[in-house]
A = this chain, B = another copy of it.
Amino acid sequence: MWINNKFPFLLYCNCEVEYSGRACSILENGNYLILYKNDKSLVIHGGDKITPRNYQGKNSNLLVEGDYLISTNKSETIKIKVIHVLNYFRLANWSNNDTIMTKTEKELVNKIYENWYCYVGVKCEEVYKEYMTEHGPVDLLGINNNKYHIIEVKRRKCNLKDATQLRKYLECFENKLGYLAGPDISEKALKYLDKHGCKFISVDF
């Protein structure tokens, strides 16, 4: 057989792919790159784009039936008809290290937290990070004289969706003022904030 049960492996081949599960899809005949990883996740990459043509999450099962590779995971199935193998080898000692990120949302949250008055313009007796509400945790909450200052922080340009997310949190308080904080904001989002008496805070790295 052209495949053994050793993994992780890489298979570059001419094939066709059928998927059925949450959705359904067909990938017509062509040359694609198939990876079966350490965590038993499966990805099928085409000649362009970053995202795979098809995939299966970790702990998927893979078995060979004649010329077919059959991948199953819960109620999702991928059927690969392998017509011609172009390249096949084990990816020995493939590393599972993760990328360590900086410039995260947490950094921006801390920046506002450490320089509260500078960004919010109101001195608060109490300031909380990740304050839990009925609708989930708010990034920042400051309390001044029984008035609640609620801040939703984004590390990228804020959009309309972010503004509505803020509003969701505002519903949890009575005497309140809402803020959306980030490096930039879209016009629609700014208008929405204005309309609902909320403010935008410009904060960057």
Q: Which residues of A contact B (CB under 8 A)?
A: 8, 10, 12, 17, 19, 22-28, 30-33, 35, 37-39, 41, 43, 45-50, 52-55, 57-58, 86-87, 89, 91-104, 135-136, 155-156, 160-161, 164-165, 167-168, 188
In the complex, are the beta carbons of A23 and B101 less than 8 A apart?
A: yes
Tell me which of B47, B48, B103, B188 contacts A24 (CB under 8 A).
B103
Given A23-B101, A23-B102, A91-B12, A48–B58 Cβ distance below 8 Å?
yes
Tell me which of B28, B38, B93, B135 contacts A97 (CB under 8 A).
B28
Sample of 8 A–B contacts (CB below 8 Å): A26-B99, A37-B45, A43-B50, A46-B97, A47-B94, A50-B55, A161-B165, A164-B168
How many copies of this chain? 2
In the complex, are the beta carbons of A33 and B30 less than 8 A apart?
A: no
Task: State how many angstroms separate the Cβ of A113 from the closest Cβ of chain B.
Answer: 20
Q: Which residues of B contact A94 (CB under 8 A)?
A: 31-33, 46-47
Tell me which of B25, B48, B89 contacts A41 (CB under 8 A).
B48
